[in-house]
Amino acid sequence: MDIHSLNGKRAIVCGSTQGIGRAAAIDLANRGASITLFARDREKLERVRGLLPGQGHEVLVADFADNAAVAEAAASHVAARGIVHILVNNTGGPPGGPIVEAEPEDFLDAFRAHLVNNQLLARTVLPGMKEAGYGRVINVVSTSVKEPIAGLGVSNTIRASVAGWAKTLAGEVARFGVTVNNVLPGYTKTQRLESIVAARAKATGRDPESIAADMIAVVPAGRFGEAWEIAAAVGFLASPAGGYITGVSLPVDGGRVSALS
């Protein structure tokens, strides 16, 4: 048995048109899984599908701001295609800004986009995972689960709620051979990071290069992460090798988070 192989497994990867989501889809495909790419832009999804090694890959289209559309698309897909062994929940982060300036609707929008969609998707795929005796729910979250990040008030709040949801779900489904884990990316070279740097530069009047340098200065590894490095953690947790790891929030951050747990 190849404990790292995903041959014969099927995965849904959300937010897979760019960044960590795209990298995760590629990693899982390299391990042998058949990937369903899930996001709102069909054209971009098709481009990513063309990058994936192997066969049997598909695209699924819905706007993650619309819970009903996400649930309907996922349910129709599972009804038509059968068991999904791996679910990667990954959605773009809420806009930045101080928490005191956030409107109640900002929290509700983020809650629906992240936690509610995670719940809807998990409930859709869990029956098949239980039937197969193999399931992996992996949530791409943020190191703010361990240490809140300044200027990301709404995100800090919602990410923590996702971590609590995942820990609870992990305890309920472990006996069925299903694991639930969170991967916590640190500062990673993605469009999300670019937007954070740009927002901080605008707020302070400083140039983006100096903002980025300050961010790197607090990372012991001395650099930003690459999307494929986050994806490698996703791939490991999705594989048979990760079968005894559940309910954890794993920082992949170059050592930036100083918390012990």
Per-residue pLDDT, 94: 87
Per-residue pLDDT, 196: 85
Per-residue pLDDT, 192: 85
CA 246, CA 179: separation in Å to the nearest integer?
5
Per-residue pLDDT, 260: 77
Residue 1 has pLDDT above 80, yes or no: no
In this predicted model, what pLDDT tens digit does every residue of 111-162 receive, in sequence order? 999 999 999 999 999 999 999 999 999 999 999 999 999 889 999 999 999 9
What residue spans define the domains of the chain?
A: 10-186+226-251, 187-224
DSSP symbols for 121-188: HHHHHHHHHHHHT-EEEEEE--GGGTSPPTTBHHHHHHHHHHHHHHHHHHHHHGGGTEEEEEEEE-SB
Query: What are the C-alpha distances in Å from 155 to residues 67, 70, 146, 169, 253?
Result: 19, 21, 13, 21, 17
The model carries a pTM of 0.95
CATH of domain 10-186+226-251: 3.40.50.720
Q: Are 35 and 13 in contact, with CB atoms under 8 Å apart?
A: yes
Query: What are the C-alpha distances in Å from 224 to residues 35, 61, 72, 85, 107?
Result: 27, 31, 37, 31, 28
At what angle are helices 208-217 and 191-204 packed, to 10 degrees? Answer: 110
CA 20, CA 188: separation in Å to the nearest integer?
9
In this predicted model, what pLDDT tens digit does every residue of 165-211 receive, in sequence order? 999 999 999 999 999 999 999 999 998 889 889 888 888 899 999 99
